[in-house]
Amino acid sequence: MQGVWFSEAQSANLGFSCRVKSVLHKEKTDFQDLLVLDTETFDRMLVLDGAIQTTIVDEFAYHEMISMVAVNSHPVPNRVLVIGGGDGGAIREIIRHPKVNKASLVEIDERVVECAKKYLPEISVALNNEKVEVLIEDGIKHIKEKSNYYDVVIVDSTDPIGPAVGLFNKDFYGAIFRALKDDGIMVAQTESPWFNKDLIRRVFSDIKGIFPIAKLYIANVPTYPSGMWSFTIGSKVYDPEKVSVNQIPDTGTKYYSQDTHFAVFKLPPFVKALLEQEV
């Protein structure tokens, strides 16, 4: 192999590597190691604590799927919150929805936001939009201070290590429930069904124990461990599988669509079985 390669240890026994053209930025923030690379296959790439967060080539799959399923399951998603997601990709998708009046981003690490603006402008393009509020603070603290406030809450967290550990527990999901309006919806990224079975079982069980409706759906994100990625929805009223097609606007998405909205809930049998196992 020639040249410089970046490798992520995606599990104890598996790695993911790609050839790097140049290192655009490297620093240790107050919270994590931050790296921006220009790669041969995936263009520019954001890496936090050694884990790939997003790339120019495949980011749309993740950002559309963490955002649009929940937002389009709510008939009037006026006020939407994203916890984490400092790159701005989820925010970009959310404000395309015609009924979203305000989108708030709560990101604990300001350097992620600033580096995204500089090196990933295609992803962070909406962070300066008049509908968007960017708050540099602890998402857990923020959500605990809100009550009956948001229509949709999206937990766009990093892996459950470092500053994101607290975003994967039952108390946090309970705080989200209280911060949502009476017909609110939440969604969280919940890792790979291949490599994170215990986490998915636990999170699904926690959310199912709090929300009347709990559903898991999957999408393909090539640079994430295994490529198959899961998201878990908790809803107080609206079943995302019973949404009217007429409720789903065309916002120019490239992965998500009216058909995809329903198809992603048709889980492979091994994923279904995973959710049926006791924690």
Strands 180-189 and 228-235: antiparallel
Tell me how far apart the alpha carbons of residues 94 and 150 are, in angstroms, rounded to a whole number: 14
CA distances 124 to 116, 176, 181, 196, Å, are: 6, 25, 28, 29
Tokens for 94? 């959310």
Q: Chain-centre distance of CA 137, in angstroms?
A: 18
Cβ partners under 8 Å of residue 147, min gap 6 = 178, 179
Could you confirm whether 156 is annotated as catalytic? yes
| The two structure tokens encoding residue 250 | 């065309």
State the maximum Cα–Cα separation within the chain, in Å, rounded to a whole number: 57
Catalytic residue among 156, 183, 198, 206: 156
SS3 annotation, 103-125:
EEEEECCHHHHHHHHHHCHHHHC
Query: How many residues are there in the chain?
Result: 279
Phi, psi of 110 (to 5 degrees): -60, -30
The angle at the Cα of 117, spanning 114 to 121, to the nearest 5 degrees, equals 165
Q: Nearest-CA neighbor of 37 among 256, 51, 166?
A: 51
**Catalytic residue numbers, as ranges:** 156
